[in-house]
Structure 1
Amino acid sequence: MRTAHLIVLALILFGSRSVFGQSRDRLRAVEAFDDGMQYILDGKLSRAAKRLQQAADYDPTFLPGVRSLGTVCGLQKDFDCAIESYRTVLEADSTFSRLLYFQLGEAYLQAGDARQALDYFQRFQALQDRDRGAFGLMGDQEMATEQRIVDQDLDRSILSAQISADSTNYVNATNLLNMGAPINSEDNDYFPFFTNDLTGVLYTRQESRGDEDLITAKRRGTTGKFRTSRFGTFNTQQPEGMCTLVRDGETIFFTLCHENEGGGGCDIHSGVLIDGRIEHTEQLPNYLNSPTWDSQAAISCDGRQLFFASTRPGGIGGSDLYRCYRLPDGSWSEPINLGAGVNTPYDEEAPFLSNDAETLYFSSMGHESLGDQDIFYSRWDPSRERWSKAMNIGPPVNSPARELGFHLSADGRQGFFASDRAGGMGGLDIYSFTLNEELTGKEVTYVSGFVTDSLTGEPIANQEVPVAGGDVFRTNYAGRFFICAPPDAPLTLQVDNAAYDPYRHTFSIPRWDNTTPYRINLPLTKSGAPPPPEPEVKPRETYTETLQALFAFEEYELTSEQQSALRVFADSLDRERIASIALIGFTDETGAVDYNMRLSQNRAEAVGAYLRKLGINPALIVIEEGKGEIAGQREKKLNRRVDIVVTMYGG
């Protein structure tokens, strides 16, 4: 509604002098008002707010100044100030402006008071039956703006307030948190895409001059502090849009916007992420990219489906969402519009597909929203082969402000998005939340397969790997292929290569946390070659690092101090060299033997749970049977502990 605010300011600017009085206080208020309006025209909202506040202080009965103060406060997202100013005007003169009722409703909605917002929207709607002459000069001046709001905005605003007021129906997300600095800044930060282990993130930052750049942030462990830098070698003075990694951790899609001989526009590119650099970049084919705007690619978990936004001709309206399929030869099919369940005459953008490829998340201006652009989801209906009618994901993810750029972690539970809601650090900020299990989709296990020569160990590149009764995958330069497979189910693969014996094997795929893929090996044997010799296994040198976690009498839950110590210890470890972590719990000799055995076990399990939360691979953590009490040794408080013994591989 920023446009409506500016229109109202223009009306006040050119129509308020006819209501001015001539008292000394009024003249001082008029002078401050004139300065404030000039500051608005110059784009200096903070100075405008200061002068308009002075105008209201000089003469509280000078209602155009008070109303303008509220409008500027709204533009600055200080909605408490806007509400106070608007209410002051209506309490002094309930017929000062009919449009002001709608503005007050908008301010309440943005401030999170949906019920008050609904009340004022409905008052504005009821007042449409009154003659505009009852609202004096403003009635005539605001007539065109009012009509546009009634025709285009009012029904949606009422619906937004109703949905927000009944937010108990939405339990899709909890634990909403602004990610803070350095991820967020005073600029716009949006389109987050996290690595599978949540230690890295790629996102877009738009500076005040409008240029978009790709930013990378990295941290040690899932609780470390992020450090940011510009990403890639293609950041330019032209916009670079949404960046998407395939779950295999190496295939990347990104948008570049450049002027060229064919005109302006944005196109989707792909590349391979190798040692933090993008290699083998190429622009996707012309039938996928169009002469207009194509951007915001999203890839399915296994890399077989590509979704993107485009303003190409022939869509439903605005920017629409499209889908392509990976063909057996590795190319992409022609784009297909996702249809009316997803697309509207307005803008749809920023698609994201769940791991099981059954739920599509996206941002829209055209569906029933809570105010501005919201995040929606649609389910794939296999019986009708189309996407279902989009549903609003609801509060607290969506708000009366703008939300876009939805992303889920590898396990489907932790979500991320961007919003310009009040209380942020600047424009759009990136937020995290926990998603309800009903929307996370079916479990999948990330599987990395490696096809190699059984004798030399050399990778076999560009090799087709068919799944029995399913898709055909192809190895990359390292002989690697990637599959998103259902856990606790057999995965039968076959490989046919003229230089090797036929290969066929059924793998048992476990449940996996997906921070790193589950690895399977497919060694191919050359025809007539002897079986490969058993590899000589040389034991790796190891050493240990230890830490003790001390507990109070009969306690087994970790205190904040213990958590801090464990976090520092975990951050000091080289995660790639951890062989195992043994946890052994103890108690003092006070109490029954059976009770102390359980207590020592509970202490060890509490430490193990927190280490997993810090991002330590659960497969490396061994919780040994509780040792119970230690008698006759040193102080009792030193016996109430868990020994943490970390075995590390040597250099």
Structure 2
Amino acid sequence: MYRRYFILAAYFLLGSWVHAQVSEDQKQQARDLVAIANEAYFKLKVIIVANEQYAAAAELDPENVEANFMAGLTFLETNNKSLSTKYLLRVYEIDPEYRFDILYMIGNGFQYGLEFEKAIEYYDMYLEKLERYPNKGGGDIADADAVVRKISECENGIRFVNNPQNYVIENVGGYVNSEWDDFAPVLNANEDMMVFTTRRQDGNLNPDVFDDLLYFEDIFISTKSNGEWSYAQNIGETVNSPFHDSNLALSADGTQLFIYKSDNGGDIYVSELDGNGAWQTPAPLNNNINSSFSENSVSLSPDGNTLFFSSDRPNSVGQLDIFYSQRNSKGEWGVARSVGESINTPFDEDGPFIDYDGKTLYFSSKGHNGMGGYDIYKSVYDSLSETWSEPVNLGYPMNTPDNDVYFVSTPDGQRGYYASAREGGLGFTDIYHIHLAEINLEGKDLEVSNEKPESAEINNVAVVEDPGPEPEPGPVRPILKPVRLLVRVIDGESGDLVNANISLRAPNNSFVPVEKRDNGVFEMSMMPEAAANYKLSVEKRGYMFNNQNILVPAAAETPNTIRQTVTINPVRSGSKVILRNVYFNFGSAYLKPESKEELQQVKRMLEENPTYFAELSGHTDNIGDPSVNKQLSLKRAQAVVNWLIQNGISEGRLFAEGYGEERPIASNDDEKDGRELNRRVEFKLLKLKTE
């Protein structure tokens, strides 16, 4: 106990913020911002806008307890939950009794930020507080059972994060994902049709917004050709309505689409694809599936005879459980039965997906050995014992302390798709493609091979098949050596090496593993078949990000090492970066989908620095009419500003400028090293609001 309080005291002594003198005018500005934010949060339910205002108020007056508490609370309601701790720690230092469960909330923030040891410290402190106030009631209390569960999640998280799975998670890209919520992907067996649910504005059948000021859920569809997903389109008015519509499952042949409608507490419908490629009017499933309670996600077995779904009907173990139903001889769905307590827990289970082998069930659960929110698990059915195996958590980084749901696999078992709220995404929740072949689950290899074994045992006698004649030796292939990339990150002012967050994205959008070699020094290794451009991204809180495109040569028989020094500058008024990965169609101001990743970085920087304004400026080369160039540069800058506004950044913090060819950074006499560099968009932070 004394050790815990010593750690807490040391944390505040070493890590607390230093207040500058706050003027009365700043305090009043902060109070005014809190009033605006309260209106946005409590009446309009615009959480992102309210969060931005609360955070700005807390920066203006760090001792404003309400501003800090509401900033922390609203961060816990966004995708940036880990940012809550900064503000909640301030509240606890200023007034430890401001809210009874403040220690529990701080623990939440640390848990979402993968700082599990710190989270456990605060959860333990909160448990001790509960013991001192055994009769405490009210809405600001989390009961001891919930806290003990959180501690267990953190202990699981430590184990999973320290033993990450070796797989690649890729965002499926801007032709499918948007800046809004995109989730619940379902695919056919050929993996060339994807249906998913989105809350985007473009293509939505309802131009208005729901009560939460987000657009209504609509079902969209994308098809794959030559390895590329097409630009997603609304599936149409026959399936979608002007209100909430979401997909649940797609049959293996892609001709049956199961959807959710809010009728009767929430029911499951099915739409058939006719011979002309048109989806028919959805029809409800029978009363063995649909009830007066809620029926949610669905999965259909490969033979089409077993349906798995989630429901909160009365005979559930928890609030939301997984059930199954089988077709009878008349082709009708029979009585629904629970999959059993080996899968269902007193917590919620959702998102079932029965694999193409007909016996492996993937699902999401808030129970079992999770690390927070919904985690994705797998369980295998044993037909002899008629039981499901102990569910296995698919581990980190697929699972996180936030919600990870709606996983679907591919027929070969080597890939999958799911929805997740992850840093670097294009929107709130994005759809991701994951390579599964390298997963090792708690010491067990994921079995993906369909090859016959080399030997079989019959009556305890090993029988080895005749391998036949040995093949003729082929030509000796050269042994290729990987290309190494060594990156040094330095502070642009001091020249010191800086630890930062590094990512390297390959041309196929997969991430290259990064190994930290020393303080501020990182190494990546790759085996490209041909020379290609890789996207390097360097970020650190308190610094401007720096993105670079690096040409990596093809792997060869001789080793090849690229050395790159990347400078990042501290956040200051006047600091700027060139947005190297924001793209427009030729001669237009239409943002290409692949721009959204870097725009998310701009958004994140503005969220982390709420007291700054920002200028987005467009620049061109000197080819063409100067007045036309200047107009186009302004339109492109405004397109970036509009994207940021649509994604929750206050309009009053953003300015668009078009400079045309007036401010070149290189000679216009050359294309590659001149005009190409001059065609750009810049992001610059302007003076503090308090100045």
TM-score normalized by the length of structure 2: 0.54
Query: Which of 169, 193, 199 matches 2:192?
Result: 199
Cα deviation, residue 380, structure 1: 1.4
Partner of 1:63: 65
Identity among equivalent positions (%) equals 23
Cα drift, residue 53 of structure 1:
4.2
Structure 1 position 59, deviation (Å): 3.7
Matched, 1:73 2:75: yes
Are residues 172 and 408 of structure 1, via their aligned partners in 2, closer, same or farther at CA, if it must alter by over 3 Å? farther
Contact 2:185–2:417 (8 Å) recurs in 1: yes
Shift of 1:371: 1.8
Matched, 1:227 2:221: no
Q: Is 1:559 matched up with 2:530?
A: yes
- Alpha-carbon deviation of 1:192? 0.8
Select 1:144's aligned residue among 109, 134, 138: 138
The answer as to whether partners of 2:266 and 2:296 remain within 8 angstroms in 1 is no
Deviation at residue 245 of structure 1 after TM alignment: 2.9
Equivalence for 1:622: none
For residue 246 of structure 2, give the secondary structure of its aligned residue in structure 1.
Answer: coil
Measure how far apart 1:412 and its partner are. 0.8
CA 1:146/1:323 → structure 2, altered by over 3 Å: closer, same or farther?
same
Q: In the alignment, which residue of structure 2 is the partner of 1:105? A: 107
2:127 is the counterpart of 1:122: no
Q: Does 1:284 align with 2:285?
A: yes
Q: CA deviation at 1:348?
A: 2.3
Map 1:421-436 onto structure 2 (within 5 A): 421-435=422-436, 436=439
Rg (Cα) greater in structure: 1
Query: CA–CA distance in 2 between the matches of 1:81 and 1:280?
Result: 45
> How far off its partner does 1:557 sit?
6.2
Query: Which residue of structure 2 aligns with residue 185 of structure 1?
Result: 178
Distance 1:205-1:54 versus aligned 2 partners, 3 A rule:
closer
Q: How far apart in 2 are the matches of 1:557 and 1:65?
A: 50
Q: Could you say which residue in structure 2 is the equivalent of 1:512?
A: none
Tell me, yes or no, if structure 1 residue 240 matches structure 2 residue 245.
yes
RMSD: 3.9
Query: 1:192 touches 1:407 (CA, 8 Å); kept in 2?
Result: yes
| Counterpart residue type for residue 195 of structure 1 | N
| Contact 2:414 2:448 survives alignment (8 Å) | no
Distance between the aligned counterparts of 2:156 and 2:186, measured in 1?
29
Taking a change above 3 Å as real, the CA distance of residues 440 and 307 of structure 1, as seen in their structure-2 partners, is farther
In the alignment, the residues of structure 1 paired with residue 386 and residue 240 of structure 2 have an alpha-carbon distance, to the nearest angstrom, of 39
CA distance in 1, matches of 2:56, 2:429: 31
Report the count of equivalent residues.
Answer: 427
Aligned to 1:214: 219
Counterpart amino acid of residue 100 in structure 1: I
Structure 2 CA distance for aligned equivalents of residues 64 and 266 of structure 1: 42
**Closer/same/farther in 2, CA of residues 394 and 145 from structure 1, 3 Å limit:** farther
Q: How far does residue 286 in structure 1 lie from its aligned partner after superposition?
A: 3.2
Distance (Å, rounded) in 1 between the aligned partners of 2:289 and 2:427? 35
Secondary structure of the residue aligned to 1:297 is strand
Q: Summarize deviations over 1:210-230 as a string: whole Å, max 9, x none.
A: 7432211123222x2431112
Aligned-partner Cα distance in 1 for 2:366–2:27: 43
Question: Which string of whole-angstrom CA distances, capped at 9 and with x for unpartnered residues, describes residues 340-366 of structure 1?
Answer: 122234432221112222221112234
Counterpart Cα distance in 2 of 1:212 and 1:367:
30
Deviation at 1:161, TM superposition (A): 1.3
Q: For residues 562 and 424 of structure 1, what CA distance do their matches in structure 2 show?
A: 21
Runs of at least 5 residues in structure 2 that lack an aligned partner in the other structure: 1-21, 201-208, 456-479, 484-526, 535-691
Q: Once the two structures are superposed, what CA deviation does each residue of 1:177-212 show, in whole Å capped at 9, x if it has no partner? A: 232323222332221122334333111224652743
Structure 2 counterparts to residues 472-511 of structure 1, below 5 A: none
Answering whether residue 301 of structure 2 is matched by residue 300 of structure 1, we say yes
The verdict on how the C-alpha distance between 1:70 and 1:415 changes in structure 2, with shifts beyond 3 A counting, is same
State the Cα distance separating 1:388 from its structure 2 match: 3.3
Change (3 A) 1:81 1:320: closer
Deviation sequence 1:49-95 (CA, Å, 0-9, x none): 45434543454333333333322333343345422222334445656
Q: CA deviation at 1:254?
A: 0.8
Q: CA deviation at 1:396?
A: 1.4
Instruction: Give the match for residue 380 of structure 2.
Output: 379
Q: Superposition pairs for residues 322-337 of structure 1, below 5 Å?
A: 322-327=323-328, 330-337=331-338
Tell me: CA distance 1:318–1:91, structure 2 relative to 1, closer, same or farther (3 Å): closer
> Which ranges in structure 1 are unaligned for 5 or more consecutive residues?
1-20, 133-139, 446-485, 490-551, 564-651
How far apart, in 2, do the equivalents of 1:383 and 1:283 lie? 34
Larger mean Cα displacement after TM superposition, 391-400 or 409-418: 391-400
- Give secondary structure in 1 for the equivalent of 2:401: coil
Residues 59 and 332 of structure 1, relative CA distance in 2, 3 Å threshold:
closer
Q: Distance in 1 between matches of 2:329 and 2:162?
A: 44
Name the residue aligned to 1:266: 267
TM-score, length-normalised on structure 1?
Answer: 0.57
Relative distance call for 1:330 and 1:98 in structure 2 (3 A) is closer
How far does the alpha carbon of each residue in 1:20-39 deviate from its partner, in whole angstroms, 9 at most, with x for none? x9967655544443343333
Change (3 A) 1:96 1:185: same
